Structure 1
């Protein structure tokens, strides 16, 4: 079996992915999508920027012939070249071939089998901070390099995006690396596939996601429940709560003593399980966590609504209904610090009309223009509430106001009109959904985006492609997606009002 740094990195992120990449049927793995290809392009660009600082050589060997690569790398090290790009270091451990290919091997003064110099490993990553997996892989590369040059490297470096070079504490991470490598080898040689755990932020770009999600869904796995992190799942396993039904019947007091369930999280998680088991939303007292107890679990003859009747009082929702309502959503490119689309849906309930406005910056220079156009529109409706989903829109309005010198007396009344539908929703109800993201909740309510593949990340990809190609169909796709986000926010807000009014 071959173990390389990339496989080790994937193992730290997800044991199941590393196992399937090694032992699974690769024909079942989905090909890389646009977003993953975009990240790979960004990593290549970052790598190119770093490499421009070094006079490097690359070992010459037939592709995939690691032994020839290791020999060519050793020859360059013996020559004392300044730096080596993608050098190959190879060693054998029992029946495991260990392979290391650091981004760079950089020559330093010191002692090694080559003379009065040695090399240190340096890896180039797209991440902005020195993640655990980066540092363990750096320790792995350092240990392999120590074998090749018969001397411990003085240090290891990480070249991160938007950061100066980061020095890895090898004394700290090498012992942890030994444990991780041993666990990785044991897992990959096992006949048992690691348990599925869905973490959407990490899983969405993985080629095995559809397969893993289907398995998690069939198991009603707790990782599909909002609020269940890997650490919390481990704590639930320790008390033998490993499925939805037992969690829904658990008294929150049982979980309160667990480290991951403090601060009301126990009640939140139990409520979430109850909502999913009952396949029904649960009303919360406004601004407070609902105190779950076994006596409040509905019987088969009692609905949740009947159970709560006379005990819980819905919040005042007057602020959620107005003659004219605005729904606001933004598309942004963080790498450019650019908000390129400010979308507003104007709903006139008196006239029974709705109109969508897309203020689109076709280049970074146009951001100021669309900010002014946005203000001109919303100021036409000074009494209208501005609904949005999550805090980004408010934070962006503050940023744009500061950047383009908007007077405070204009900004203050504007900010007072914003209503965060996400915040209001999570204070009022618990939903039988896998997350509280706009797409998940709106789709649960029956709303569908015209382009099912559209997303915030996809919008960024389209905008980057627009800047490269000038293809206006990409802008059309972005505008359509943004309009659907505004419509979904309206759909959710309207449902929330009707749900509260039903009590």
Structure 2
């Protein structure tokens, strides 16, 4: 059991209790006591505090609160939580209760909690969600002291390091949810025909009346791939040629792409922009480089070509140049989806590349990298920038790893 927790760990638990359990050895926050003592001293003098730290004991352990700010509010206190989302999310109300309860229980009564983003500011009564907060804290304690939670596919799986192990556990359970792309409606249709697990679908020698023959055959191949723990080519692969690899990092809050990473002949070439005003110049440099290269422009999923279309229109790029580049785009994910059955329940870049033994050098993902970039905008810390470049380069190299594997298969 962890000695102390922050709300970040609670978010991890809510996203996936199994991942939370499997990562129990990590330490959320060390050396917080000195920071808390400084915060208490300032608050006792009625000063507002940026990045305050406060803690309290619940269920025999310390829970640590780290909101963005605490401000005097009459004879009480107002807490500020800063986010980037365009809309208020339900979990923000739970986080408000978490911070409000900890500060109040520590002797600094909180009157209100404000959630601020670049798009809205919303005041919340932290007391409203205290019952849900305690239920969540109790659930965390029970999970930590019990057996490992079962594997359940969730959005977090796309970037999780445990995805291969969780896939194998789902296969051992015979769960149909291990099949990539299967939906609840399809699972219900299979159940109507007496197909309730992977073994049933592998052994089935007829097409259920509620499904087309083509759909069922692909489901059967995917189930076989999972059971046998090997890949299957169920449709002839297209001829893949050597080319370049493209990956874009975007900061949705600021509304621009801050990093275009290109891998050409094993050389990583980054194009970085620190502001919206620089994006047009950077995009022009990207187009100039791509125009000089030959072969396909490989990317993973559909963001890159759709973003190029938007930027080409926004910056009035020569139509002939844009069309020349557009025709070279090749979506690696689309190839996998249409031609390959993998023993994975998610075909995300990180999942497939890890299946091929590729390892990222950082623990970043899209959301975390966006936060790092935002922090870099305020600090210009070179170590943050280096991590972002490393993460982007690894995405390019992971895509290349998959393409070279597909070339070998074909």
Which residue of the other structure, out of 235, 239, 250, is the alignment partner of 1:334? 250
Deviation at 1:143, TM superposition (A): 3.6
Label 1:191 to 1:218 Cα distance change in 2 as closer, same or farther (>3 A).
closer
Counterparts of 1:359-438 in structure 2, within 5 Å, are: 360-361=270-271, 367=282, 368-377=284-293, 388-402=299-313, 404-412=315-323, 414-438=325-349
Match of 2:14 in 1: 12
Deviation at 1:427, TM superposition (A): 3.0
Deviation at 1:119, TM superposition (A): 1.5
Q: Is the 8 A contact 2:159 2:348 kept in 1?
A: no
| Greater relative contact order (CA < 8 Å, ≥ 6 in sequence) | 2
Label 1:157 to 1:493 Cα distance change in 2 as closer, same or farther (>3 A).
farther
Label 1:121 to 1:329 Cα distance change in 2 as closer, same or farther (>3 A).
same
User: Is structure 2 residue 239 aligned with structure 1 residue 273?
Assistant: no
Match of 1:142 in 2: 100
User: Is structure 2 residue 136 aligned with structure 1 residue 180?
Assistant: yes
Query: Considering only aligned residues, what root-mean-square deviation do their CA atoms show, in Å?
Result: 5.6
Counterparts of 1:476-487 in structure 2, within 5 Å, are: 482=396, 485-486=399-400
Structure 1 residues not aligned, in runs of 5+: 33-39, 41-61, 110-116, 257-263, 285-313, 345-354, 379-383, 499-503
Which residue of the other structure, out of 90, 100, 105, is the alignment partner of 2:70? 105
Counterparts of 1:103-502 in structure 2, within 5 Å, are: 103=67, 104-109=69-74, 117-124=75-82, 130-145=88-103, 153=111, 155-160=112-117, 163-168=119-124, 170=126, 173-188=129-144, 190-197=145-152, 201=156, 214=165, 217=168, 220=171, 222=175, 225-227=179-181, 244-246=198-200, 248=202, 272-278=222-228, 279=230, 281=232, 283=234, 320-321=238-239, 325=241, 327-335=243-251, 337-343=257-263, 360-361=270-271, 367=282, 368-377=284-293, 388-402=299-313, 404-412=315-323, 414-438=325-349, 441=352, 452-453=359-360, 468=382, 482=396, 485-486=399-400, 488-489=402-403, 491-492=405-406, 495=409, 498=410
Instruction: Report the 3-state secondary structure (helix = DSSP H, G, I; strand = E; otherwise coil) of the residue aligned with 2:317.
Output: coil
C-alpha distance in structure 2 between counterparts of 1:102 and 1:12, whole Å: 18
Deviation at 1:374, TM superposition (A): 1.6
The structure that has the greater radius of gyration is 1
C-alpha distance in structure 2 between counterparts of 1:215 and 1:424, whole Å: 24
**TM-score in terms of structure 1 length:** 0.54
Q: After superposition, what is the alpha-carbon deviation per residue over 1:112-167, rounded to whole angstroms, capped at 9, x for unaligned?
A: xxxxx3213333457776554443122133244555669772x322345x555444
Label 1:373 to 1:89 Cα distance change in 2 as closer, same or farther (>3 A).
closer
C-alpha distance in structure 1 between counterparts of 2:365 and 2:20, whole Å: 26
Structure 2 residues not aligned, in runs of 5+: none
Q: Is the 8 A contact 1:282 1:429 kept in 2?
A: yes
Deviation at 1:177, TM superposition (A): 2.6
Instruction: Report the 3-state secondary structure (helix = DSSP H, G, I; strand = E; otherwise coil) of the residue aligned with 1:140.
Output: helix
Q: Is the 8 A contact 2:171 2:198 kept in 1?
A: yes
Label 1:491 to 1:213 Cα distance change in 2 as closer, same or farther (>3 A).
closer
Deviation at 1:271, TM superposition (A): 5.2
C-alpha distance in structure 1 between counterparts of 2:153 and 2:80, whole Å: 32
Q: Is the 8 A contact 2:201 2:223 kept in 1?
A: yes
C-alpha distance in structure 2 between counterparts of 1:226 and 1:276, whole Å: 10
Which residue of the other structure, out of 85, 88, 101, is the alignment partner of 2:54? 88
Q: Is the 8 A contact 2:361 2:390 kept in 1?
A: no
